[in-house]
Structures are given as C-alpha cells and as structure tokens.
Amino acid sequence: MKIDTLTLKLICFTLFIGFYTSCNSQKKNAKVEKIIENTTQIADYVVSIFEDSKNNLWFGTLEKGIAKYDGKKLTFLTTNNGLPSNRVVCVVEDNNGFLWFGTGAGLSKYNGKTFTNYSKKDGLCSDAISNLIIDSKGTLWVGTWNGVCTFNGDTFTNFTLPKPIIKTTPNKDTENWITQIMEDSKGNMWFGKDGYGASKFNGKSFAHFTKKDGLFSNNVQEITEDKNGDIWFGTRVAEKDNADPNKRFGKGGVQKYEDSKFINFPEIKGFTKNDVYQIFKDRTNNLWISTLKNGLYMFDGKTFKNYKILKSTMSVLKDRNGTIWLGCAGGLYRINGEEIVNVTTNGPWK
C-alpha cells in the first residue's frame, strides 16, 4: 500500500534514530535536550510547523490532525471537525487569511470555522499531498505523490514536469513523488523529485540538475534559497533503495549551488553520505539543517553550529518572537537558551 511523503521520510529517519544517542561527544557548544517526564506529547510525529498572520502556531501531525496554539491554549482539529484526514503534512496561508492543509486524503481549506475539502474527484492530481506553496502571484501549487497541480480557487490544472535522462534506476513507488516546491527570489519555480533530481522552471523552459551535473544523489528532498541567492539542496542516499543490503551506501547530504557549480562540505559531520530532509531559512536568514546522524545545524552565513537533538527533526520554524520550534519524531521541542526543551500538551510554552 502506498504511504504518504512524511511516512516515507519517517521510515528513513527511524532507521537511523539510534545514531542520535551517540552524539554527546561531538562539539562543546552543542545544546543538550531536556525532556519533561510523565506528560503527553502533542503527537508522536510533528511533521510541519506554521505561524499564521494572527501569530497562531500550527503543528501538523501524522496521527492527530492539526494542533493550534493561540498563545493561551492548545486545541486540536481532526476528522471530527471536518478534516479529510488526521495526517496533516503541510500548511500555508493565502492572501485572504484562509489556511490550506495538505493531508493524506486531499486538500483542505479552513476559514477559521469550517473546512472545504478537495480530492481527486474535484480534479486534484492525487489525494496524497506532500507539499504546498503559494507563489508570488497568488497561485497555489500542490505537490503530491503523483506529480504537481495548481489551483486558482476554482479549477485544478495538472503541471507536467519533464523527466531528465538519468543513469540510476528510480524507485517505481516514488518516481512521481514531488518532494519539494520552492520559488526563488527571481520568480523561478524549483521542484524536488525522488529519483530525478531537481528541476527549475523559469516560466518558459526547464533546467534539470542531476548526479551528472554534480548532485550527490538524484533523490532530492529539500531545496532552499539563502540570503545571497544561492540554492541549497538536501538529498538522500539513493542506494538505500537497493535490494542488496551490502550495496546500500553512497553519496547524499547537503550541497550549495553557487556560480553554476555545486559546493560540498566534507568537513561537516553528517553532510555527506547521509540523508538530509530539512533545510529551513528563518526570519533572520539563518539556515537550519537537519541530519540523520549528527543532529541539527544552524548556519549563519559564516559558521555551522551544532545542536544535539536526540530525536529526528522533521520541521523547523522561527516565530515572530524569535523562538525556534522543532517538530520531531517523538514530539515538539523548542530551543530555550542553552537547552532544547520538550514541549508537551502541558507546556512549557515559554
């Protein structure tokens, strides 16, 4: 049975979660996780974090729907409230203040009171959504397990992504999985694909980036633009799909595309021969990079700072107050000075 995007990512994360417990000897400036016992986690898997225009925080989960924290209380919205699925993997807000949730059973629009749901029967390219983005023109892009479509408020339109010629053999179960959609500062649209690298669309034509161009792996999971206009890629080791356990190794990790060439970081632990699913640019232009084996890194444009996270980090947000929130396999966390604090249904929120 086909699983949704974040479930696949979590499988990969879980395979390596044991590595996190051995990170205590890496760097002196790394933070230590503080866990609050005997409390209820917001969810076992917090896979997306979003702050809306009213300063509400939203936490998408794989099993409990979407959690909302308004600064005073935490509430959950689930299928009982009208969501099509309790698996919420992404959230965006449009210019009218409506929230859009990408779920495991279609797209959902929330007006603050009720949900309007869309599925394949309405023209959606797939009910298994992986990512959402509203571009600078107000168009909603929907990435799914079966390609990309756009939505103008009335009609879904399939957006065909050409596949580059590659030498590697893609996984048939994930070859149409759109892992990332990003608009850069020049208005180009970038698409990450599992098995086919990355593609850039300038409004007229496509440019493709694959292993033959210098990418570590054709399994691109993350694409982010930094403050200088350079593009960062996070990839996973494609060889892990190999049926032979003795051949499940190869290149993967973090690369920067600058001046038409790829730049690697072999001196940073976890940036090569590894899986990287999260590269997030915060409000102050710092990059937050989650690795499977070596915790979380923050890059301020000059140096990388390592945080010792004992859980797999799948989503990062820096809110308007400057708090860093981490959605993990195992719950919700925030960086509080010198500590990484587990935030449960009982807090602490501040």
Say how far apart CA 131 and CA 222 lie, in whole Å: 11
Task: Kindly report the backbone phi and psi dihedral angles of residue 300, in degrees, each rounded to the nearest multiple of 5, phi listed first.
Answer: -95, 10
Prediction pTM value: 0.88
Say how far apart CA 251 and CA 217 lie, in whole Å: 6
Q: How is residue 331 written in tokens? A: 């719950």
Nearest to 216 by CA among 191, 250, 258: 250
For the chain, the straight-line distance linking the first and the last C-alpha, in angstroms and rounded, comes to 41
**Superfamily of chain region 5-343:** YVTN repeat-like/Quinoprotein amine dehydrogenase (2.130.10.10)
- 293 with 19: CB under 8 angstroms? yes
Say how far apart CA 145 and CA 194 lie, in whole Å: 10
pLDDT score recorded for residue 58: 98
Amino acid identity for residue 188 in this structure = N
- 313 with 296: CB under 8 angstroms? yes
Nearest to 59 by CA among 73, 76, 38: 76
- Taking only the tens of pLDDT, the chain with its 350 residues reads 333 444 444 443 333 333 222 222 233 344 444 444 446 999 999 999 999 999 999 999 999 999 999 999 999 999 999 999 999 999 999 999 999 999 999 999 999 999 999 999 999 999 999 999 999 999 999 999 999 999 999 999 999 999 999 887 777 888 899 999 999 999 999 999 999 999 999 999 999 999 999 999 999 999 999 999 999 999 998 766 666 666 667 789 999 999 999 999 999 999 998 899 899 999 999 999 999 878 899 999 999 999 988 778 999 999 999 999 999 999 999 998 778 999 999 999 98
Say how far apart CA 60 and CA 77 lie, in whole Å: 10
Nearest to 227 by CA among 185, 279, 182, 180: 185
Question: What are the residue boundaries of the structural domains of the chain, listed by start?
Answer: 5-343
> How many Cα neighbours within 13 Å face the side chain of 161?
34
Residues 6+ apart with CB under 8 A from 194: 170, 171, 174, 175, 177, 179, 219, 220, 221
Structural Rg of the chain based on CA atoms? 19
Which residue is listed with tokens 């979380």? 296
Q: How is residue 299 written in tokens? A: 């890059």
Say how far apart CA 73 and CA 281 lie, in whole Å: 27
Q: How is residue 148 written in tokens? A: 């990309």
Largest CA distance in the chain: 56
